[in-house]
Structure 1
Amino acid sequence: MNTNPLVSVVIPTFRRKEGVKRAIESALNQSYPSIEVVVVDDNEDDDYSLFIKQICASCASHRLRLYKRRQNGGGARARNSGILRARGEFVAFLDDDDVMLPDKIEKQINLLQQQGADVCSCDMLERFVTDGVLSPVKREKLIKGTIGQDEYFIAKNAAYTSMFLIRRTALIAVHGFSNTRKYQDKILMLKLYIKGFSIVAVDETLVVMTSHMGERITSKRTDLQSELAKCRYYDLAARRVSADAVYNIGILTASIRSRVLSQQGKYLASLALNMKTLFRVRSSCHWRIVAKAFKRNLLLYHSAI
């Protein structure tokens, strides 16, 4: 067994200038010796792409590779691009304004090798920033990555991409991140759990996440497709656990479904309004596109509910 298997750290970046270099350097400066860093440029704006190229050049490391996507695809597609280009046996993820503590990879690799596991999480410190400085109202919060019992992991465990270190073959087996607007990281962990991959966690804070108050990329509003996808994977995960766990998870999924139901009326009303508008457009092409989308979303809704 290779005692120092190569670890690929995938850093997707989109419209970020502040903190990108700090994130890259925190990955390059790990105490673990066998590291490569794959920066995935998901920008369409040439100015941002040029900035990222200059940042990578300034790091002057043969262990750093930059991959430029042809078009913006969002977080899931950017991370999946990184997985496909990773050369490591294990893959870690780091958001472009987060920071790994120097011994993160070393401690996670050690635990993975000791336990013979496939996935390792850790605790994370979330810092809240307003206009580049710590928020005076809400400064920081500790997020636990503890695994615990099956039902606890499924229902309660926090899942943020910067916490993870995952065997690359496991990521390939579950087809990487699902392309939903929300819950990409949570759904990934559920997919790994459903497939039977073993998951462990280092009970220490090994990464710092920056949350920008008032500038969140992902909307807090309920997204129907994301909620339904998460609900479906909760149901699949429940098949792996005990009757008590199924009951606990059932309460959780019932809560999710109630949110979905409350959104369904608004969502279908919005679709209907769009379709009514397109009645006035004498273009069969436009009509077919909308009809197909309407049918797909109805099927998605009924399959999950």
Structure 2
Amino acid sequence: MPLVSIVTPTYNSEKYLAETIASVISQTYQDWELLLIDDASSDNTLNMIREFADKDKRIRFFQLTENSGAGIARNKGIEMAQGNFVAFLDADDLWKPEKLEKQLKFMEEKDADVCFTAYELINEEGQALNRLVTVLSEVDKNKILKANYIGNSTGIYNAEKLGKIYMPPIRKRQDWALWLRCIEKAGSAYGLQENLAGYRVRKNSVSSNKINLLKYNYIFYRKACNFGAFKSGVYLLRFLFEQFFVKSRLITTHTT
């Protein structure tokens, strides 16, 4: 059975982390390792991580000496990964119990090296908001340059075939850049149209602040894609159209 390396960056995550880790432990597919990379937390996060790691040897952790951002933390996790596949789970998101099992089976059937799934939106208390983010069946480089169609906590790539793929050293939107790099190597990413994760909507997230969202997207095009200023501006306009007239239609009402 292939080993899946799950990379989770943490920073002052004590409020949500236990539930997140529990969603990994309860997976029906059990050949995994969970790599928790703490980004110099000042709360009780590290002690929580140690407690889980003491109880389950599949859980490993590393502490960064100074706060460096989620991208640096994720890259450390990728560096530590020993698995055939690399998956990502943010410290406040949740997986459905059958997430890994169904996704790996789908990847085998599709001969897919990059895969992502549909997911539901949950509030800060973990309650369903009855909103489902559906997915495109396939995303190529042209499509992902317009907008990030891959929910980071649903994404998996085949490190055995593609090699380890890292995130660029940008503070925000580095996950978008990683999936772009994965698609550049694999050709396409394939979407599994099944709700297998919960994304926690938080008040201070990048996506909740539209001005910051545009700023970080511009930086993504400039630094992660190496586009010039004019080309970055053009792609930012394409993003706005894609986000509000195309991608927004993937969010549907969902009742459990």
TM-score by length of 2: 0.77
1:195 pairs, out of 164, 185, 201, with 185
Residue aligning to 2:25: 28
Equivalence for 1:65: 60
CA 1:156–1:46 in structure 2 vs 1: closer, same or farther (change >3 Å)?
closer
2:69 is aligned to 74
RMSD: 3.1
Give the SS at the match of 1:25: helix
Matched length: 233
> Secondary structure of 1:88's partner?
coil
Decide which of 164, 174, 186 is 2:155's aligned counterpart. 164
Q: Going by fraction, where is helix more abundant, 1 or 2?
A: 1
- Is residue 137–residue 192 contact of structure 2 (8 Å, CA) maintained in 1? no
Matches within 5 A, 1:138-287: 139-148=129-138, 150=140, 151-156=142-147, 158-169=149-160, 170=162, 172=164, 174=165, 176-212=166-202, 214-216=203-205, 220=209, 221-222=211-212, 224=215, 226-230=217-221, 253=235, 255=237
User: What stretches of structure 1 of length at least 5 have no aligned partner?
Assistant: 237-248, 259-305
Amino acid at match of 2:184: I
Say whether 1:99 aligns with 2:86. Answer: no
Change in Cα spacing, 1:157 to 1:203, as seen in structure 2 (3 Å) is farther
C-alpha change, 1:199 and 1:25, in structure 2 (3 Å) is: same
Per-residue deviation, 1:252: 6.3
Residue 47 (structure 2) pairs with residue 40 (structure 1): no
| Structure label with greater radius of gyration | 1
**How far apart, in 2, do the equivalents of 1:218 and 1:81 lie?**
25
Q: Report the Cα distance in structure 2 between the residues aligned to 1:149 and 1:158, rounded to whole angstroms.
A: 7
Partners of 2:21 and 2:239 lie apart in 1 by 39
Q: Looking at both structures, which has the greater relative contact order when contacts are Cα pairs under 8 Å and sequence separation is at least 6?
A: 2
User: 2 CA distance for matches of 1:54 and 1:140?
Assistant: 33
Q: Secondary structure at the match of 2:22?
A: helix
Percent of aligned pairs with the same residue? 25
